[in-house]
Chain A
Amino acid sequence: MTDLSSNDLLEIQRRMLRIRRFDERASKMVKRGHIPGTVHTSIGQEAQVVGSTFALADGDYMSGNHRSHGHPIGKGSPLGPLMAELVGKATGVCKGKGGSLHLADFSVGSLGESGIVGSSIPIATGAALSSKVLDNGKVALAFFGDGAANQGVLYESMNLAGSWKLPMIFLCENNQYALSTPAHTVTSGVIADRGAGFGMPGIRVENGQDVLAVYAAVKTAADRARAGDGPSLVEVVTYRYNEHSEGLRLATDYRNAEERADWLSRDPIVLFRNHLIETGVSAELLDQMEADVLAEVDAAVAFSDASPYPELSVAFDDLYTDKEISA
């Protein structure tokens, strides 16, 4: 990758590690009841997430889905307010009113994760419309899964973005299962091929565990969008290691052991660590990075633990920008 500095490469690894360790901790906290409800982890999909977010500029927009923590972390959001949000604390990034499913950090262009499959895709499309009308050079990216790839609103959004040549990236995170349903059993054809129907490039990243391959595809799409050439569809094939959501226990194992072993043998963080070492980065430096990230996650949990729960009145704030008018 010619346009990535050695610092960029280290930052990519750091962000993947942040997602891995943050989600590992969140998973434990759900099981202990420390985090109420459930969470959907991005463990195993870190290359797909960071390869995408790192190809965006700081001011660029993105929207996401229920597998929600990785997106803001990948975009550079600090971990403390994210963890506090998962626990439901007043210092949470959404003041404790969103939770895991509805993380948003506007300071890094994260316009919100969505608990409704496919529902946030037009939000990113609208952000791309803003960029176009205001001519501010920003790009918007919509993350959605292989499940959302069969929602009608995706195609309404692709048609709109294509017709208006919006600076937009449709990023399909194909982890191959919509909960327990194998994508190929409910999906006709190849998702990436659907781009052609809307006159936009449809790129399939077969090895979504290779962060640089994901980065290259998304960077090409981002450059194209920024140049005014319109939207792209990028499908990244990847795999989630954990269950659909933490604590979910299904009677049947819909994924076989061979498949799982194959994906585990191509772990994105291990692969990229090896790549960095091959290019001359010292193992000591990478070990130190791992320790630093663990300390960051510890600090995020400590920040959350030390934070108060919201006042009851907070439940009645933020519905409107003004208080209800009563003459």
Chain B
Amino acid sequence: MTVMSYLGAIGAAQREAMDADERVIIIGEDVEANVYGTTGGGKSRSSEGDFTQRYGKNRIRNTPISEEGIVGAAAGAAMTGLRPIVDLSYSSFLYMAMDQFVNQVAKNRYMFGGQASMPVVFRSAMFYGLNTGAHHSDRPYPMFMNVPGLKIIAPSSPSDAKGLLRSAIDSDDPVLSFEACLLWGTKEEVSDEPFWVPLGVARTVREGTDVTLVAISGSVPEAILAAADLEAEGISVEIIDPRTLVPLDRNAILRSVAKTGRLVVAEPAHRTCGAAAEISALVAEEAFDSLLAPIVRVTAPDMQIPFSPSLEKQMYPTRETIGAALRLVTGATGVARAALKLAN
């Protein structure tokens, strides 16, 4: 075991995959210079483990700033024998390549009757919470959940980042990885040995009996803090991190709600048609009889992200807003509803 950061764990997974399979290549903007710290052993080119030195420029390729061309070319390469990892840097840049994601990456295998397989991973960072303004702060994974044919991961811990990325790279289907920048510096002990976290299996972050709290991506650390606060108030919170949004581990969520009878879903994406909306609908349809209280979502509002730090910090679920939702569904306090109304 080694203490790894979230970014370091991504780098470790990429290195293991590059070592294991010569068909794996990394393409993206600034990957040769290891600008984001996932294609090297350290921050400088002379560092041991630098990917360009280790694997050569045939397999580590800087791209022009041409997202549509890059995403399509990665799809074509995946259809013809390579297993590309595409570093798209910011998640907001995925929109530039929307036609390729929706019309080629997601549809080709299906339209062509299974002739194509599409073993490609598209990594991007959700740069929210860092005062970068509306063009860099998007959390767009829900709109891709609406495109059948894509698989979607959103790891919230270094271990999951490593294990899920290995599974994504080994998958013969296209996988989009959404990585919250707020998690980049998170550290924990991670196995140095290769391991795979299967796609479609949720992680129970903490067990509890009174309320199920499904938390996604950067909302997971806030959820853990909120659950600790509630524990001090005598309320037992079970936290489920789906980790994979497509395929979604529906049974893990339904099992937990069957046990607790209450559901709060927290995520940093917009409210309308978000992952929280989908999970809420799932529980309302499949586990209505288990519910002791209405479902509550804690999300970003349907609003663009303002630049000023004093404005931005209220936009995403926090320990406080998640805590208020938990108190509301468990009947803990009367002020919870007012607090939530403010947040949403």
Contact surface of A with B, Cβ cutoff 8 Å:
61, 63, 92-98, 102, 104-106, 111-112, 114-116, 119-134, 136, 140, 152-153, 156-157, 159-160, 163-164, 317-322, 324-327
12 pairs from A and B in contact (CB 8 Å cutoff): A98-B112, A104-B115, A112-B108, A119-B103, A120-B104, A122-B72, A123-B76, A124-B76, A133-B82, A319-B110, A319-B148, A327-B249
A126 to B25, CA, bound (A): 12
Given A111-B76, A122-B100: A319 and B109 interface contact (C-beta under 8 Å): yes
Select which of B112, B114, B173 is within 8 A of A102 by beta carbon: B112
Check: B136 CB closer than 8 A to any chain A CB. no
Q: Which residue of A134, A164, A317, A327 has the most chain B CB atoms within 10 A of its CB atom?
A: A327
The answer on a CB contact under 8 Å between B199 and A325 is: yes
Pairwise interchain contact B113-A92, C-beta atoms closer than 8 A: yes
| Given A104-B112, A326-B250, 18 new contacts (CB under 8 A) | A94-B112, A97-B110, A98-B111, A104-B108, A106-B116, A112-B111, A122-B76, A125-B72, A127-B77, A130-B80, A130-B81, A157-B72, A160-B64, A164-B61, A320-B149, A325-B198, A325-B201, A326-B200
- Closest 3 A-B residue pairs measured CB to CB? A126-B76, A122-B72, A156-B69
Which one of B25, B77, B148 has the highest number of Cβ atoms from chain A below 10 Å of its Cβ?
A: B77
Give the Cβ gap from A64 to chain B, nearest Cβ, in Å.
12
B89 → A minimal CB distance (Å): 16
CB neighbours (8 Å) of A136 from chain B are 81
Task: Tell whether A126 pairs with B72 under 8 Å between CB atoms, given A133-B25, A322-B173.
Answer: yes
CA distance A133 to B84 in the complex (A): 11
A122 to B70, alpha carbons, bound, how many Å? 8
A93 to B110, CA, bound (A): 12
Instruction: Give Cα distance in the complex from A96 to B202, angstroms.
Output: 36
Interface size on B, residues (CB 8 A): 53
Choice from B74, B99, B200 contacting A126 with Cβ under 8 Å: B74
Contact A317 B114 (CB under 8 A): yes
With A123-B104, A164-B61 in contact, is A327–B200 under 8 Å at CB?
yes
Residues of A within 8 A of B71 (CB): 122
For B77, what are the chain A residues with a Cβ–Cβ distance below 8 Å?
Answer: 126-127, 129-130, 133
Among candidates A126, A153, A156, A318, residue contacting B80 with C-beta atoms closer than 8 Å: A126
Closest chain A residue to B82 by CB distance? A130
User: CB-CB < 8 A to B73: which residues of A?
Assistant: 122-123, 125-126, 129, 157, 160
Q: Name which residue of chain B comes closest to A107, CB basis.
A: B115
B113 touches A326 (CB 8 A): no
Given contacts A111-B76, A123-B104, A133-B82, contact A94 B66 (CB under 8 A): no
